Each structure stands twice: as C-alpha cells, then as structure tokens.
C-alpha cells in the first residue's frame, strides 16, 4: 500500500509539474476522497476530489477550498464545485483540468443566504439560536411554498410521474422526518410508505409505482449517496435537501429545498422542522395533483400548516418556563425512554436521538405499546420516561405501567402535561410542536452537564464517509 503523497512525490522526480503529478496520482486511487496537495518547496497547491464534496471559490479575500460552503460563506459570494475527475491548481486564479485535460471552470453558484439569527447572551450556542429560529424558519418556508400546495403546483413543478407508494431513504434525523412525511402520505392519502436506513438500502426491494424520496439536510451524506448509486431500481428519485447544489441535489431526478437556511450545530433542529413541513406539503400537493384529495380538503390542511410557526413559538415558551426544574431532576439519570403512539412515534425517536447525541446518555424510543414487550424491564425508580401525549387514549395505560414501576413520567403535549404544547391528533404533520421541548430538554441537559452541544464528541455535521 502506498500513501498518496508518495505517489505524487514519485512523479515529481521526473518533472516539476505538480498539476500533472496529482492527476497521475489520483488516477491510481480507488474509493472516495477529496484532497489538497501542497508542495512545501514552491507553495503550489492542487486540489482534487472523487465521490466526496469539494468546492473552490475566489474573492478579494483570497482563494478558498472547502467541503461545504458554510465554512467559507463569510468571505465569498459564489463558488465552483469540483466534479469527479477534476484536478484544480490554485494559483492567483483557478486552473481547472479533468482527467489530465484543460477544462472550463464550471459555472459559479451563488452562495446561499447567511444564517438569519445572531447569537445572543441567553443563547450563546448555535443549537440554541437554531431552535429559537424555528418559528421564523417555518414561516419563511410556508411563505415560499404554502400557496403552491393545494393547487398541486408544488408537486407538478417537479416534473415527476404519478406514484402509488413512497420509499424514504435517509439517516438519523432526516430519517425521522421521512417517517413523519411517509406516515402523512398513508394517513391523508391511504397510500403505502416505507422508510429505509440509507446504509441498509442496498438489499431493499422497490416495487413498481414507487417514488423514492432521499432526505438529507446536507445532501452530502455518504450512506445516502451510496444508496443512490446502488440503484433505486427504476424508481424516480426526489431529493429533499437544505442545499440544492449539494451532490445529492445534483444527481437526482428532482430536488426540493427545505429552505431552512444554514444550520451550524451538529444536532439537526430547524432543518428537521422544515423537512417535515415541506415534505408534508409535498404529500398534500401530490395527492391533489393525482386527484386523490379534493382541493377543499387540501386548503384546510394547508391552513393547519400555517398554524405551525405560532405553535412552535408557544411550545418554545412553555419549554423555557417548565423544563429547567425537570432538567435538574433528571440530570443524574443514566438512561431515558421516549414513547409515542401513531404519528408521535417518529417524534419520540427524534427526542431520543437528540438526547443521546449531545448528552451522551442512553435513550431508547419505542411505540408505547411495545413497552410490555421488553423495554419496561429497563424502568426502575426514577427512570425518566418522556411521553409524546397527543391525546391518544391508549397512552394512559402505558403511563400507568411506567408509574407502577416508579418511573418518572414527563409528558409533552395536551393540557395537563408536564410541558403543554399545542398538538392536535388531526394535524397533517402529527405532533410537530412536541419536538421543540424535546430539543430543549436535550440542550438543557447538555449545558447542565457541561457539554458543548454544538460539537458533540465523535460526530460531524456532514457524514461524508461510509
């Protein structure tokens, strides 16, 4: 096995052409990579990428190479994306080649808008600012797409064929959003859906008439890109991303933006909320466009979507007032259970993911009915059990089961809950507002325990490796 710099060095023994040396070296590589080679003797620099994001940008502040525009957005207005096989020398300018042949510099792409929030004294981390920004992000998104949902335009403008079932492929929080979106399709339109973890998508069977929806806030997640390469088996692919110029956005049949704006905290918050809203809007729009939902019903559902920004704001206010003593009470707990029923299950999963990601505590999410099939054994005196209480009458029995074992029940939802938030069983996105206290519980506990919520250990914002 040779290291890449030795491949380059060998070639430089015969010539001082760094660009040619890197082109020859990368032609011998397999796998996915993005690299920048610096010749320490001359200061020359050459960049190349293959199945891994890399972009180049010029501005008065200099020339930049980065894997994500958000890293350099403060200094540049536009950028160029390196395609597979591109090798670029950075001089006073960008010298673009592909497979050893001079190439035209690809068209510049304008930098997306910068974050809308500013960090304040009471919210001195990005995650807090991004949670705070959710009502505004949701309102912005609805302003952009709300008028095109009930008319069917949001769906029709994508130019995709009619479909009979949906297959969501995603990871982590995006997968949880996909589960909410898929279950909206089943609940509102009676069509089937499945959710597939992207890293396990390879073996899954895609039936005819399936629309594959790949969801990824970054659009650079390697597992999702691999699932795309390994084949949606004839199914058209729609990408739901926060960056339409991302690798995923560029490779699929149609792309829809969740338009959440830049998200810096590793824990996804406002992108989740925006994915759920635009994905649910898309479902309604597709049902109208295919004649499966009447326009009057679609308008009523869109009106429900317009209530979301206010509901998120109310949920945040309730969580700010009521969570601090609860956080204090559970700070010593080693493990947490999150329960929901129906549409609440995906939100329970999201609450558990947030908590484990930034507090390093074990957290399990289950449909509440599953308790008695195993997880109830975990409940002991004081075990925190967080319940998304959207008024499903079956929850009372599950809560009683936990209480009988001494578990500390924290309910989020209907009046009388530990944290009351505006939820309705009929809401098109299910109990979306519940996610705000779940995010704030995780953040509050992380801060209480002294952890940096923006940079959780072992994790990255964009997971560009398999």
Q: With CB under 6 A as the contact rule, which of the stretches 26-34, 167-175, 373-381, 427-435 interacts with ligand M6R?
A: 167-175
- Chosen residue from 218, 247, 285, 398 binding ligand M6R by CB under 6 A: 218
Distance of alpha carbon 262 from alpha carbon 275, whole angstroms:
14
Q: Does 267 bind ligand M6R (CB under 6 A)?
A: yes
Q: What's the length of the chain?
A: 466
Helices (H), 37-171: 126-132, 134-145, 153-156
- Chosen residue from 172, 178, 340, 430 binding ligand M6R by CB under 6 A: 172
Report which of 78, 98, 79 is spatially closest to residue 88, judged by C-alpha positions.
Answer: 98
For ligand M6R, the closer CB: 280 or 411: 280
Q: Does 277 bind ligand M6R (CB under 6 A)?
A: no
20-29 long-range contacts, CB within 8 A, separation 24+: 20/100, 22/46, 22/48, 22/87, 23/48, 23/87, 23/97, 23/99, 23/100, 24/100, 26/50, 26/87, 27/99, 27/100, 29/4
Q: How far is CA 371 from the centre of its chain?
A: 28
- Chosen residue from 23, 52, 195, 216 binding ligand M6R by CB under 6 A: 216
Q: Does 276 bind ligand M6R (CB under 6 A)?
A: no
Quote the least distance from Cβ 451 to ligand M6R, whole Å. Answer: 14
Distance of alpha carbon 439 from alpha carbon 272, whole angstroms:
11
Quote the least distance from Cβ 267 to ligand M6R, whole Å. Answer: 4
For ligand M6R, the closer CB: 72 or 267: 267
Quote the least distance from Cβ 216 to ligand M6R, whole Å. Answer: 3
SS3 content of the chain, % helix, strand, coil (to 5): 40, 20, 40
Distance of alpha carbon 343 from alpha carbon 428, whole angstroms:
10
> Would residue 235 be called left, alpha or beta, if left means φ above 0 and alpha means ψ between -120 and 50 degrees?
beta
For ligand M6R, the closer CB: 86 or 223: 223
Q: Does 173 bind ligand M6R (CB under 6 A)?
A: yes
- The structure tokens listed for 424 are 């309705």
Residue linked to tokens 């505590």? 361
For ligand M6R, the closer CB: 399 or 438: 438
Coil, helix or strand at residue 258: coil
Q: Does 171 bind ligand M6R (CB under 6 A)?
A: yes
Quote the least distance from Cβ 234 to ligand M6R, whole Å. Answer: 24
Q: Does 221 bind ligand M6R (CB under 6 A)?
A: yes
For ligand M6R, the closer CB: 65 or 258: 258
Q: Does 235 bind ligand M6R (CB under 6 A)?
A: no
Report which of 305, 244, 284 is spatially closest to residue 81, judged by C-alpha positions.
Answer: 244
How much is the CA Rg of the chain, to the nearest whole Å? Answer: 24
- Chosen residue from 52, 183, 217, 359 binding ligand M6R by CB under 6 A: 217
Q: Does 52 bind ligand M6R (CB under 6 A)?
A: no
- Encoded one letter per residue, x for contact with ligand M6R by CB under 6 A and - for no contact, window 348-387 reads -----x---x------------------------------
Residue linked to tokens 């958000």? 70
Q: With CB under 6 A as the contact rule, which of the stretches 112-120, 231-239, 263-271, 447-455 interacts with ligand M6R?
A: 263-271
Cβ pair 389, 410 in contact under 8 A: no
For ligand M6R, the closer CB: 53 or 430: 53
Q: With CB under 6 A as the contact rule, which of the stretches 130-138, 161-169, 261-269, 278-286 interacts with ligand M6R?
A: 261-269
Q: Does 266 bind ligand M6R (CB under 6 A)?
A: yes
- Chosen residue from 26, 65, 224, 387 binding ligand M6R by CB under 6 A: 224
Instruction: Name the residue with the smallest CB distance to ligand M6R.
Output: 172
For ligand M6R, the closer CB: 130 or 392: 130
In sequence order, the 6+-apart residues with CB closer than 8 A to the CB of 316 are 131, 132, 134, 135, 436, 440
Residue linked to tokens 């790949």? 214
Q: Does 261 bind ligand M6R (CB under 6 A)?
A: no
Site for ligand M6R in 426-465 (CB under 6 A): 462-463
Dihedral pair phi/psi, residue 440, rounded to 5°: -75, -30
* Residues binding ligand M6R (CB under 6 A): 171-174, 216-218, 221, 224, 266-268, 353, 357, 462-463
């Amino acid at each position: 096995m040779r290291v890449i710099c030795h491949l380059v060095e060998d070639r430089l023994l015969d010539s001082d052409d760094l660009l040619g040396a890197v082109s020859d070296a990368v032609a011998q590589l397999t796998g996915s990579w993005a690299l920048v080679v610096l010749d320490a003797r001359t200061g020359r620099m050459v960049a190349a990428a293959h199945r891994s994001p890399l972009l180049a940008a010029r501005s008065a502040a200099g020339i930049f190479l980065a894997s994500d525009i958000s890293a350099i957005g403060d200094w540049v207005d536009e950028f160029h994306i390196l395609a597979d096989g591109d090798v670029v020398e950075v001089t006073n300018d960008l010298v673009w080649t592909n497979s050893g042949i001079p190439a035209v510099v690809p068209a510049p792409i304008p930098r997306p808008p910068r974050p809308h929030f500013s960090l304040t004294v009471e919210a001195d981390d990005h995650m807090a600012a991004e949670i705070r920004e959710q009502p505004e992000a949701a309102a912005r998104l609805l302003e952009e797409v709300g008028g095109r949902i009930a008319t069917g335009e949001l769906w029709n403008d994508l130019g995709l064929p009619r479909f009979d079932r949906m297959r969501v492929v995603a990871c982590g929080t995006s997968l949880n959003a996909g589960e909410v979106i898929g279950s909206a399709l089943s609940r509102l339109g009676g069509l089937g859906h499945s959710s597939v973890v992207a890293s396990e998508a390879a073996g899954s069977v895609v039936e005819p008439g399936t629309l594959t929806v790949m969801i990824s806030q970054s659009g650079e997640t390697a597992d999702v890109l691999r699932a795309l390469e390994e084949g949606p088996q004839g199914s058209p692919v729609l990408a739901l991303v926060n960056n339409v110029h991302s690798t995923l956005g560029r490779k699929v049949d149609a792309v829809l933006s969740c338009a959440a704006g830049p998200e810096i905290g590793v824990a996804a918050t406002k992108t989740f909320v925006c994915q759920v809203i635009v994905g649910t809007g898309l479902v309604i729009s597709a049902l109208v466009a295919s004649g499966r939902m009447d326009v009057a019903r679609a308008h009523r559902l869109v009106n429900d979507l317009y209530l979301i920004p206010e509901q998120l704001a109310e949920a945040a206010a309730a969580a700010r007032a009521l969570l601090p003593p609860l956080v204090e009470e559970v700070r010593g707990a080693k493990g947490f259970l999150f329960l929901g029923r129906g549409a609440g299950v995906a939100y329970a999963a999201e609450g558990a993911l947030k908590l484990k990601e930034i507090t390093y505590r074990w957290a399990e999410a289950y449909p509440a009915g599953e308790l008695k099939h195993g997880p109830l054994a975990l409940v002991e005196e004081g075990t925190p059990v967080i319940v998304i209480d959207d008024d499903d009458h079956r929850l009372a029995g599950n809560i009683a089961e936990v209480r009988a074992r001494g578990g500390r029940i924290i309910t989020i939802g209907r009046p009388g809950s530990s944290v009351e938030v505006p939820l309705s069983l009929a809401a098109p996105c299910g109990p979306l507002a519940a996610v705000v206290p779940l995010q704030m519980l995780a953040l509050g506990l992380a801060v209480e325990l002294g952890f940096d919520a923006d940079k959780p250990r072992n994790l990255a914002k964009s997971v560009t490796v398999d």
